[in-house]
Structure 1
Protein backbone atom coordinates (compact mmCIF):
# COMPACT_ATOMS: atom_id res chain seq x y z
CA UNK A 1 0.00 0.00 0.00
CA UNK A 2 1.30 3.42 -0.95
CA UNK A 3 1.28 6.26 1.52
CA UNK A 4 0.97 9.72 0.11
CA UNK A 5 1.96 12.67 2.14
CA UNK A 6 0.64 16.07 1.19
CA UNK A 7 2.55 19.05 2.33
CA UNK A 8 1.17 22.53 2.29
CA UNK A 9 3.67 25.22 1.40
CA UNK A 10 2.99 28.57 2.92
CA UNK A 11 4.91 31.42 1.41
CA UNK A 12 4.78 34.78 3.08
CA UNK A 13 4.56 37.88 0.95
CA UNK A 14 8.05 39.25 1.97
CA UNK A 15 9.78 35.95 1.19
CA UNK A 16 8.03 35.83 -2.18
CA UNK A 17 9.34 39.32 -3.02
CA UNK A 18 12.86 38.25 -1.97
CA UNK A 19 12.59 35.20 -4.23
CA UNK A 20 11.60 37.38 -7.20
CA UNK A 21 14.48 39.80 -6.58
CA UNK A 22 17.04 37.00 -6.37
CA UNK A 23 15.65 35.37 -9.52
CA UNK A 24 15.94 38.67 -11.39
CA UNK A 25 19.53 39.13 -10.21
CA UNK A 26 20.44 35.65 -11.46
CA UNK A 27 18.98 36.41 -14.88
CA UNK A 28 20.91 39.70 -15.02
CA UNK A 29 24.20 37.88 -14.39
CA UNK A 30 23.43 35.40 -17.18
CA UNK A 31 23.01 38.13 -19.82
CA UNK A 32 24.74 37.53 -23.14
CA UNK A 33 26.27 40.15 -25.41
CA UNK A 34 26.14 40.05 -29.19
CA UNK A 35 28.64 41.82 -31.37
CA UNK A 36 29.51 42.27 -35.05
CA UNK A 37 33.21 42.79 -35.78
CA UNK A 38 34.36 44.02 -39.19
CA UNK A 39 38.03 44.03 -40.18
CA UNK A 40 40.52 43.01 -42.87
CA UNK A 41 43.16 40.30 -42.98
CA UNK A 42 46.49 40.85 -44.74
CA UNK A 43 48.72 37.92 -45.61
CA UNK A 44 52.18 38.27 -47.07
CA UNK A 45 52.50 35.00 -48.97
CA UNK A 46 55.34 32.52 -48.55
CA UNK A 47 58.40 33.54 -50.53
CA UNK A 48 57.62 37.28 -50.38
CA UNK A 49 59.59 39.73 -48.22
CA UNK A 50 58.41 39.67 -44.58
CA UNK A 51 56.17 36.66 -45.27
CA UNK A 52 53.45 36.06 -42.66
CA UNK A 53 52.56 32.59 -43.96
CA UNK A 54 54.65 29.53 -44.75
CA UNK A 55 54.12 25.97 -45.91
CA UNK A 56 55.61 23.84 -43.12
CA UNK A 57 54.82 20.41 -44.61
CA UNK A 58 55.10 20.29 -48.39
CA UNK A 59 54.18 16.90 -49.80
CA UNK A 60 53.84 18.43 -53.28
CA UNK A 61 56.92 20.57 -54.01
CA UNK A 62 55.66 21.21 -57.55
CA UNK A 63 52.65 23.05 -56.09
CA UNK A 64 53.41 26.60 -54.87
CA UNK A 65 51.08 26.49 -51.84
CA UNK A 66 48.23 24.02 -51.91
CA UNK A 67 48.25 20.34 -52.50
CA UNK A 68 46.43 17.64 -50.63
CA UNK A 69 48.21 16.90 -47.35
CA UNK A 70 50.24 20.12 -47.19
CA UNK A 71 50.20 22.08 -43.94
CA UNK A 72 50.77 25.80 -43.59
CA UNK A 73 51.19 28.16 -40.66
CA UNK A 74 50.33 31.83 -40.46
CA UNK A 75 50.81 34.90 -38.34
CA UNK A 76 48.88 37.34 -40.52
CA UNK A 77 47.90 40.93 -39.83
CA UNK A 78 44.39 42.13 -38.89
CA UNK A 79 43.69 45.64 -40.14
CA UNK A 80 40.96 48.19 -39.52
CA UNK A 81 40.58 48.88 -43.26
CA UNK A 82 41.48 47.25 -46.59
CA UNK A 83 44.63 49.30 -47.25
CA UNK A 84 47.96 47.84 -46.07
CA UNK A 85 48.61 51.18 -44.31
CA UNK A 86 45.42 50.86 -42.17
CA UNK A 87 45.87 50.65 -38.39
CA UNK A 88 46.80 47.17 -37.15
CA UNK A 89 44.23 45.77 -34.68
CA UNK A 90 45.64 42.27 -34.23
CA UNK A 91 46.99 39.04 -35.67
CA UNK A 92 45.51 35.89 -37.21
CA UNK A 93 47.68 33.02 -35.97
CA UNK A 94 47.08 29.41 -36.84
CA UNK A 95 47.19 26.41 -39.12
CA UNK A 96 45.95 25.68 -42.63
CA UNK A 97 45.63 22.04 -43.66
CA UNK A 98 45.03 21.33 -47.35
CA UNK A 99 42.46 18.60 -46.88
CA UNK A 100 40.51 18.91 -50.14
CA UNK A 101 41.54 16.64 -53.01
CA UNK A 102 40.48 19.31 -55.52
CA UNK A 103 42.76 21.91 -53.90
CA UNK A 104 40.01 24.54 -53.79
CA UNK A 105 39.58 24.62 -50.02
CA UNK A 106 41.42 23.98 -46.77
CA UNK A 107 40.66 23.34 -43.11
CA UNK A 108 41.75 26.19 -40.83
CA UNK A 109 42.27 26.55 -37.09
CA UNK A 110 42.98 30.21 -36.36
CA UNK A 111 43.19 32.46 -33.30
CA UNK A 112 42.12 36.03 -34.02
CA UNK A 113 44.25 37.89 -31.47
CA UNK A 114 43.31 41.53 -30.86
CA UNK A 115 46.22 43.81 -29.91
CA UNK A 116 44.61 47.27 -30.17
CA UNK A 117 41.33 49.05 -29.63
CA UNK A 118 38.46 48.09 -27.34
CA UNK A 119 39.18 44.34 -27.70
CA UNK A 120 42.92 44.60 -26.92
CA UNK A 121 44.04 41.49 -25.03
CA UNK A 122 41.14 39.31 -26.17
CA UNK A 123 41.04 36.60 -28.82
CA UNK A 124 38.57 34.47 -30.77
CA UNK A 125 39.10 30.84 -31.80
CA UNK A 126 37.92 30.22 -35.37
CA UNK A 127 37.67 26.79 -37.01
CA UNK A 128 36.36 25.65 -40.37
CA UNK A 129 36.66 25.43 -44.10
CA UNK A 130 38.35 28.16 -46.13
CA UNK A 131 37.23 28.31 -49.75
CA UNK A 132 39.26 30.29 -52.28
CA UNK A 133 36.53 31.04 -54.79
CA UNK A 134 33.59 31.96 -52.52
CA UNK A 135 32.58 33.36 -49.14
CA UNK A 136 34.01 31.19 -46.38
CA UNK A 137 31.73 30.48 -43.42
CA UNK A 138 33.66 29.34 -40.33
CA UNK A 139 32.70 28.75 -36.71
CA UNK A 140 33.76 30.78 -33.70
CA UNK A 141 34.26 28.07 -31.09
CA UNK A 142 35.60 30.05 -28.14
CA UNK A 143 37.71 32.93 -27.06
CA UNK A 144 39.70 34.53 -24.29
CA UNK A 145 39.61 37.76 -22.31
CA UNK A 146 36.46 39.72 -23.09
CA UNK A 147 35.40 36.94 -25.50
CA UNK A 148 35.69 34.01 -23.07
CA UNK A 149 33.08 31.35 -24.03
CA UNK A 150 32.26 33.16 -27.31
CA UNK A 151 30.20 31.40 -29.96
CA UNK A 152 29.30 32.53 -33.45
CA UNK A 153 30.49 32.54 -37.02
CA UNK A 154 32.87 34.37 -39.32
CA UNK A 155 32.26 35.19 -42.97
CA UNK A 156 35.29 36.06 -45.06
CA UNK A 157 36.05 36.66 -48.68
CA UNK A 158 39.09 37.54 -50.72
CA UNK A 159 38.99 41.19 -51.84
CA UNK A 160 42.46 41.60 -53.34
CA UNK A 161 45.33 39.35 -54.39
CA UNK A 162 48.74 40.26 -55.76
CA UNK A 163 51.87 38.19 -56.33
CA UNK A 164 52.96 38.91 -52.74
CA UNK A 165 49.80 39.64 -50.68
CA UNK A 166 46.24 38.49 -50.07
CA UNK A 167 43.60 40.72 -48.48
CA UNK A 168 40.34 39.32 -47.13
CA UNK A 169 37.34 41.06 -45.59
CA UNK A 170 35.94 39.57 -42.36
CA UNK A 171 32.52 39.91 -40.76
CA UNK A 172 32.43 38.12 -37.40
CA UNK A 173 29.18 37.67 -35.48
CA UNK A 174 29.57 36.52 -31.87
CA UNK A 175 27.66 36.04 -28.65
CA UNK A 176 29.46 35.86 -25.31
CA UNK A 177 28.58 36.10 -21.60
Structure 2
Protein backbone atom coordinates (compact mmCIF):
# COMPACT_ATOMS: atom_id res chain seq x y z
CA UNK A 1 0.00 0.00 0.00
CA UNK A 2 1.02 3.57 -0.58
CA UNK A 3 2.34 5.53 2.38
CA UNK A 4 2.04 8.80 0.51
CA UNK A 5 -0.74 11.01 -0.72
CA UNK A 6 -1.57 13.93 -2.96
CA UNK A 7 -2.81 17.30 -1.73
CA UNK A 8 -4.43 19.96 -3.87
CA UNK A 9 -5.27 23.66 -3.73
CA UNK A 10 -6.44 26.24 -6.23
CA UNK A 11 -6.38 30.01 -6.11
CA UNK A 12 -7.42 32.40 -8.88
CA UNK A 13 -6.77 29.91 -11.67
CA UNK A 14 -3.47 28.55 -10.33
CA UNK A 15 -3.58 24.90 -9.34
CA UNK A 16 -1.15 23.40 -6.83
CA UNK A 17 -0.51 19.67 -6.49
CA UNK A 18 1.63 18.54 -3.57
CA UNK A 19 2.86 14.94 -3.54
CA UNK A 20 3.93 13.76 -0.11
CA UNK A 21 5.81 10.60 0.84
CA UNK A 22 5.83 7.47 -1.34
CA UNK A 23 3.28 8.30 -4.02
CA UNK A 24 2.19 5.30 -6.05
CA UNK A 25 -0.51 4.31 -8.53
CA UNK A 26 -3.16 3.95 -5.80
CA UNK A 27 -3.08 7.72 -5.30
CA UNK A 28 -3.65 8.42 -8.99
CA UNK A 29 -7.34 7.70 -9.49
CA UNK A 30 -8.41 10.87 -7.64
CA UNK A 31 -5.64 12.91 -9.23
CA UNK A 32 -6.54 11.73 -12.73
CA UNK A 33 -10.24 12.56 -12.20
CA UNK A 34 -9.32 15.99 -10.86
CA UNK A 35 -7.11 16.66 -13.89
CA UNK A 36 -10.02 15.78 -16.15
CA UNK A 37 -12.14 18.44 -14.45
CA UNK A 38 -9.34 21.02 -14.47
CA UNK A 39 -8.57 20.66 -18.18
CA UNK A 40 -12.17 21.68 -18.96
CA UNK A 41 -11.81 24.97 -17.08
CA UNK A 42 -11.13 28.13 -19.05
CA UNK A 43 -9.62 30.28 -16.29
CA UNK A 44 -6.38 28.33 -15.78
CA UNK A 45 -3.35 30.59 -15.46
CA UNK A 46 -0.81 28.18 -13.98
CA UNK A 47 -0.01 24.95 -12.24
CA UNK A 48 2.60 23.95 -9.72
CA UNK A 49 3.55 20.37 -8.88
CA UNK A 50 5.36 20.33 -5.55
CA UNK A 51 7.62 17.30 -5.14
CA UNK A 52 9.65 18.77 -2.27
CA UNK A 53 8.22 16.24 0.21
CA UNK A 54 8.09 13.31 -2.22
CA UNK A 55 10.30 10.39 -1.21
CA UNK A 56 9.25 8.00 -3.99
CA UNK A 57 7.19 8.36 -7.15
CA UNK A 58 6.22 5.53 -9.51
CA UNK A 59 5.85 5.60 -13.27
CA UNK A 60 2.04 5.76 -13.13
CA UNK A 61 2.21 8.96 -11.09
CA UNK A 62 4.83 10.34 -13.48
CA UNK A 63 2.51 9.50 -16.38
CA UNK A 64 -0.40 11.33 -14.78
CA UNK A 65 1.84 14.34 -14.18
CA UNK A 66 3.03 14.15 -17.81
CA UNK A 67 -0.63 14.17 -18.83
CA UNK A 68 -1.18 17.32 -16.76
CA UNK A 69 1.82 19.04 -18.31
CA UNK A 70 0.84 18.03 -21.85
CA UNK A 71 -2.79 19.14 -21.47
CA UNK A 72 -1.83 22.50 -19.98
CA UNK A 73 0.61 23.08 -22.81
CA UNK A 74 -1.72 21.92 -25.59
CA UNK A 75 -5.05 23.33 -24.40
CA UNK A 76 -4.11 26.37 -22.31
CA UNK A 77 -0.62 27.20 -23.69
CA UNK A 78 0.80 27.13 -20.15
CA UNK A 79 4.02 25.50 -19.04
CA UNK A 80 3.54 24.15 -15.54
CA UNK A 81 6.21 24.35 -12.84
CA UNK A 82 7.56 21.36 -10.94
CA UNK A 83 9.36 21.96 -7.65
CA UNK A 84 11.84 19.37 -6.44
CA UNK A 85 14.56 19.25 -3.83
CA UNK A 86 15.37 15.53 -4.11
CA UNK A 87 18.01 14.96 -6.79
CA UNK A 88 16.84 11.36 -7.35
CA UNK A 89 13.25 12.52 -7.98
CA UNK A 90 14.46 15.34 -10.24
CA UNK A 91 16.67 12.97 -12.22
CA UNK A 92 13.83 10.48 -12.60
CA UNK A 93 11.39 13.19 -13.75
CA UNK A 94 13.91 14.47 -16.29
CA UNK A 95 14.77 10.97 -17.52
CA UNK A 96 11.07 10.33 -18.22
CA UNK A 97 10.89 13.53 -20.28
CA UNK A 98 8.88 15.65 -17.86
CA UNK A 99 11.34 18.48 -18.44
CA UNK A 100 9.70 18.84 -21.87
CA UNK A 101 6.36 19.84 -20.35
CA UNK A 102 7.39 21.31 -16.99
CA UNK A 103 9.88 23.90 -15.83
CA UNK A 104 11.64 21.88 -13.12
CA UNK A 105 13.03 24.02 -10.30
CA UNK A 106 15.12 23.12 -7.27
CA UNK A 107 13.06 24.73 -4.51
CA UNK A 108 13.32 24.95 -0.74
CA UNK A 109 10.17 26.82 0.31
CA UNK A 110 7.60 26.59 3.04
CA UNK A 111 6.45 22.95 3.37
CA UNK A 112 3.17 24.10 4.95
CA UNK A 113 1.41 25.30 1.81
CA UNK A 114 -2.35 25.38 2.34
CA UNK A 115 -3.43 22.26 0.50
CA UNK A 116 -6.03 19.63 1.33
CA UNK A 117 -5.52 15.90 0.91
CA UNK A 118 -7.33 14.41 -2.07
CA UNK A 119 -9.73 11.74 -0.91
CA UNK A 120 -8.88 8.36 -2.40
CA UNK A 121 -11.52 7.27 -4.87
CA UNK A 122 -13.14 3.87 -4.58
CA UNK A 123 -10.49 1.80 -6.30
CA UNK A 124 -11.75 -0.94 -8.57
CA UNK A 125 -9.62 -3.22 -10.69
CA UNK A 126 -11.03 -1.52 -13.80
CA UNK A 127 -10.28 2.03 -12.50
CA UNK A 128 -6.76 1.09 -11.52
CA UNK A 129 -6.07 -0.67 -14.81
CA UNK A 130 -7.37 2.27 -16.87
CA UNK A 131 -5.38 4.79 -14.84
CA UNK A 132 -2.12 2.82 -15.01
CA UNK A 133 -2.59 2.17 -18.75
CA UNK A 134 -3.36 5.82 -19.54
CA UNK A 135 -0.42 7.06 -17.46
CA UNK A 136 2.05 4.80 -19.25
CA UNK A 137 0.65 5.64 -22.68
CA UNK A 138 1.24 9.29 -21.82
CA UNK A 139 4.84 8.60 -20.77
CA UNK A 140 5.38 6.74 -24.06
CA UNK A 141 4.37 9.90 -25.98
CA UNK A 142 7.13 11.95 -24.36
CA UNK A 143 10.13 10.22 -25.94
CA UNK A 144 11.39 7.14 -27.77
CA UNK A 145 13.17 5.77 -24.71
CA UNK A 146 9.89 5.72 -22.79
CA UNK A 147 8.16 4.22 -25.84
CA UNK A 148 10.63 1.33 -25.86
CA UNK A 149 10.64 0.92 -22.08
CA UNK A 150 6.87 0.85 -21.52
CA UNK A 151 5.56 -0.75 -24.73
CA UNK A 152 5.64 -4.33 -23.33
CA UNK A 153 3.85 -3.20 -20.17
CA UNK A 154 1.20 -1.31 -22.14
CA UNK A 155 0.58 -4.33 -24.39
CA UNK A 156 0.15 -6.54 -21.32
CA UNK A 157 -2.17 -4.04 -19.66
CA UNK A 158 -4.24 -3.78 -22.85
CA UNK A 159 -4.64 -7.57 -22.84
CA UNK A 160 -5.73 -7.45 -19.20
CA UNK A 161 -8.19 -4.68 -20.03
CA UNK A 162 -9.65 -6.72 -22.92
CA UNK A 163 -9.99 -9.77 -20.66
CA UNK A 164 -11.61 -7.72 -17.92
CA UNK A 165 -14.08 -6.15 -20.37
CA UNK A 166 -14.97 -9.56 -21.80
CA UNK A 167 -15.50 -10.95 -18.29
CA UNK A 168 -17.74 -8.07 -17.21
CA UNK A 169 -19.78 -8.00 -20.44
CA UNK A 170 -20.38 -11.75 -20.58
CA UNK A 171 -23.63 -12.77 -18.83
CA UNK A 172 -23.07 -15.32 -16.09
Bin for the TM-score computed over the shorter chain: under 0.3
Structure richer in strand, relative to its length: 1
Structure with the bigger percentage of helix: 2
TM-score normalised to structure 1 length: 0.25
Higher RCO (C-alpha 8 Å, min separation 6) = 2
Structure ID, larger Rg: 1
